[in-house]
Amino acid sequence: MGPEHEKEHYLQLKDEINRHNYNYHVLDAPLISDGEFDALLRELRTIEELHPDWITPDSPSRRVGGTLSERFRKVAHPAPVLSLANAFDANEVRSWLERIEKLDERVRLGNFVLEPKIDGLTVVLRYENGILVQGATRGDGEIGEDITANIRTIRSVPLSIPLSGRDVPVPDLLVVRGEVFMLNSDFERLNAELQEKGERTWLNPRNTAAGSLRQLNPEITAARPLKIFVYQILASSSADLPDKQWERLDYLRELGFPVSPDSVYCEDAEQMLAGLAAWNEIRDRLDYDIDGVVVKLNDLRVTESLGFVGKDPRGAIALKFPAREVTTQLAGIGVNIGRTGVLTPYAMLDPVLVGGVMVKQATLHNFDFIRDRDIRIGDRVLIKRAGDVIPYVIGPVLESRSGAETPYEIPHACPVCGQETEQLPGEVAVYCVNSACPAQLIRNVEHFASRGAMDIAGLGIKNVELIVQKALVADYADLYRLKREDLLELDGFAGKKADNLLEAIADSKRQPLERLINALGIRGVGEVMAQTLAANFETLDVLAARDPAEFERIEGIGPNIAQAIADWFARPSNQQTLAKLKASGVWPVAEKSAGDEGQTDLPLSGQRIVVTGTLQSFSRDEAKAFIQKNGGKAIDSVSNKTSFVLAGENPGSKREKALSLGIPVLTEAEFFERFGEK
């Protein structure tokens, strides 16, 4: 290959790599594999080693590397990088609109653009003759820090414009403004990797993005999954730029800049004001954090004529959302005990307003989370509340520590009943193993009476609370010893209501063995596992006499669940509960299914089926009963042994796993077509 052809090939290779970068990092639609991309980049670097004089600042090889800087150089922006005035509700946006309508009557007939106010770090990118020559932070709006080497490592930042293959005019000088941020999903992955390495994790995506851009070593920045959205032209040598904000966004997109796909065009002020309410919902579905929505006049000529109030342009305003992340003092750590005995820590906080709600308590996930984040009583902690989600602690603000903070110790005894706690090998959870623990009793009785268990009509959580609070039961077996006069003492219980509940309790004695096994509340044993146990052990007497090794021989039962079953039946308090059930006549014998009797000619004989999502024709329980009646086996999890998945609406991860394993996924219509109607 001659020098001219080699140079031409080199330029084509640069364009190809830049195009793949754009597809991967901006469009999220890669055209080639990572291995193929790496091969192209290696070829480019090989050519550049032979011809270093060909290397230009827009080369993809310039994204990573560079020498360490002693400090960031200060650079002046070509135009002020201004902030916006804030509004905190729709009424304040209306007031802003009324003010600017009085100043320029064109506002009344104008259009608007709503853009997400990204919670990241503002940067300024300078292009000369289409080549990125400088990247800077916003700084004080007049002077910023030169972070060009770090900016070049961000894969979604075009090193040259326009994107290869696009015929778009490019000014000799173009300076744009954008926001660098990190996707929440990328942030979680990054923190998981840091935690695995034993390194300090980040508190939130915004701090991570800002800290990554201010690294003195660009290679560190290159290792962080940063993104950028560009939304404003600060300066240009061209007089022919679009004079509408919506059209400028399109122009930026055509040049190859990543532009937020979530911006909205509004025909008039009425549509704009009506559209503001939707942003709380939009905020929850985005994979990146926004702290508000920016309202802009679409006509930039009108914006220019309106001028400024101080340093704030009149032609735009930021509607700020209530803060979802705040800091407050961790006054203490409490512990809740769940139905299965799991001890769950929670934060007791100095009251603080988060997302418009006064918060006094927040989730701490589990004891490992407290240990891994080194959360101490007395710490100043960062907490977050998103939508209707329960507030949770992100981590401590280490810089605020005084030395008076106290490390937390995991309780070795249940704080309610005093029973010694247990933690199985390989599990995060810590358990109170006393099924008679008062903290567990209400949830245990509620579960026992629930539809998937003994299905006792009229025994919902409120009535269970009344019965437990009056000390009418010490465990769920005592339900079968309740008397009419006991119930008549409860608030809201008259003769008919008491009679109906006693009748429902008596009727529950006819429930099959699998329902009773599920109702017992054994850790790790749900409806499907209960069916498996009932198919292998015909009574609770037989089940209680088995050891963990026998359980492990049954498909789908691992060592932890096997041990949990054996431990449950071995505890004296549970043996007393079983004795009371037996004495009350609640002791069913397993029924033989069609499959047990050797019928192999049924439609679903030998089939292992996972049901997921919401079905239209029948409930999940009815679907499983249909499967068993027709010779099949309903299982909980997808594996290589699964025959197929029956998927309703919103099937979730089980459908995706099945597809990844090449396991058939049937809709309800396909299921009925193959195996007959319900």
Q: What is the pLDDT of residues 336-358, one digit of tens each?
A: 888 778 899 999 999 988 877 78
Examine the pLDDT at 316 and tell me if it is beyond 90: yes
253 pLDDT higher than 90: yes
Backbone angles phi, psi at 35, to 5 degrees: -65, -40
Q: What is the pLDDT of residue 67?
A: 39
In the predicted structure, residue 68 carries a pLDDT above the cut 60: no
Of 14, 117, 244, 633, the catalytic one is 117
CATH topology for 513-583 is DNA polymerase; domain 1 (1.10.150)
Give tens-digit pLDDT for 259-295. 999 999 999 999 999 999 888 778 888 999 898 999 9
* Residues in a beta bridge with 666: 646
pLDDT over 90 (residue 641):
no
Which of 69-83, 116-130, 288-302 is least confident? 69-83
Give the residues across from 114 on adjacent strands: 264, 295
- Candidates 373, 383, 431; CA nearest to 407 is 373
Which pLDDT score, from 0 to 100, does residue 422 have? 84
Structure confidence at residue 457 as a pLDDT band (50, 70, 90): very high
117 in catalytic set: yes
**According to the model, what pLDDT value does residue 66 have?**
41
Please give the single-letter amino acid code of residue 9. Answer: H
Q: Which of 115, 150, 127 is nearest to 231 (CA)?
A: 115
Taking only the tens place, the pLDDT of each residue in 85-104 is: 888 889 999 999 999 999 99
Is the distance from CB of 443 to CB of 338 less than 8 angstroms? yes
pLDDT mean over 609-630: 79
Hey, what amino acid is at 379?
A: D
Question: What is the model's pLDDT at position 597?
Answer: 46
Average the pLDDT over each of 60-64, 480-484, 517-521 and give the range with the smallest value. Answer: 60-64
Summarize pLDDT for 127-139 with one digit per residue, the tens: 999 999 999 988 8
Q: Contact 75/33 with Cβ under 8 angstroms?
A: no
The 10s digit of each residue's pLDDT in 142-178 is: 888 899 999 999 989 999 999 877 888 899 999 999 9
Q: Please check whether residue 304 is in contact with residue 324, taking contact to mean a CB–CB distance below 8 angstroms.
A: no
388 falls in which pLDDT band (50, 70, 90)? low
Q: Find out whether 274 and 293 touch, Cβ atoms under 8 Å.
A: no
Q: Report the share of the chain in percent with pLDDT over 90.
A: 40
Classify 458 in phi/psi space as left (phi over 0), alpha (psi -120 to 50) or beta.
left
Q: Check if CATH label 1.10.760.10 holds for domain 3-55.
A: no
- Share the mean pLDDT of the chain: 86
Is 90 exceeded by the pLDDT of residue 617? no
Mean pLDDT lowest among 41-50, 223-232, 325-334, 460-469: 41-50
pTM for this model (two decimals): 0.56
Delimit the domains of the chain by residue range.
3-55, 86-320, 325-407, 438-510, 513-583, 608-675
Q: For the domain bounded by 438-510, which CATH number is listed?
A: 1.10.150.20
Assess contact for 634 and 609: CB atoms under 8 A.
yes
Q: How far is CA 30 from CA 27, 33, 39, 119, in A?
A: 8, 7, 15, 26
Of 418, 415, 422, residue with least CA distance to 570: 422
Which architecture, in CATH terms, is 608-675?
Answer: 3-Layer(aba) Sandwich (3.40)
86-320 CATH: 3.30.470.30
Q: If you average pLDDT over residues 236-262, what whole number do you get?
A: 93
Name 381's Cβ contacts closer than 8 Å, sequence gap at least 6: 327, 328, 329, 330, 347, 349, 375, 393, 394, 395, 396, 397
pLDDT band for position 71 (cuts 50, 70, 90)? low
Q: Is 513-583 the same fold as 438-510?
A: yes
Read off the pLDDT of each residue in 534-540 and give the average, rounded to a whole number.
Answer: 89
pLDDT higher at 315 or 630: 315
The pLDDT-based confidence of 386 (bands split at 50, 70, 90) is: low
Q: What pLDDT does residue 594 have?
A: 46
Answer for the pair 74, 143: CB distance below 8 angstroms, yes or no: yes
For the ranges 89-103, 472-486, 644-658, the lowest mean pLDDT is seen at: 644-658
Residue 375 burial (C-beta neighbours within 10 Å; 0-12, 13-18, 19+): buried
Domain 325-407 sits in which CATH superfamily? Nucleic acid-binding proteins (2.40.50.140)
Instruction: Give me the pLDDT at residue 69, please.
Output: 38
pLDDT at residue 494 above 50?
Answer: yes
pLDDT for res 481: 95
Q: Using 50, 70 and 90 to split pLDDT, how confident is the model at 449?
A: very high
Task: Read off the pLDDT of residues 542-570 as tens digits, 9 standing for 90 and up.
Answer: 999 999 999 988 877 888 889 989 999 99
pLDDT over threshold 70, residue 35: no
* Residue-by-residue DSSP string for 551-594: HHTSTT--HHHHHHHHHHHHSHHHHHHHHHHHHTT----PPPPT
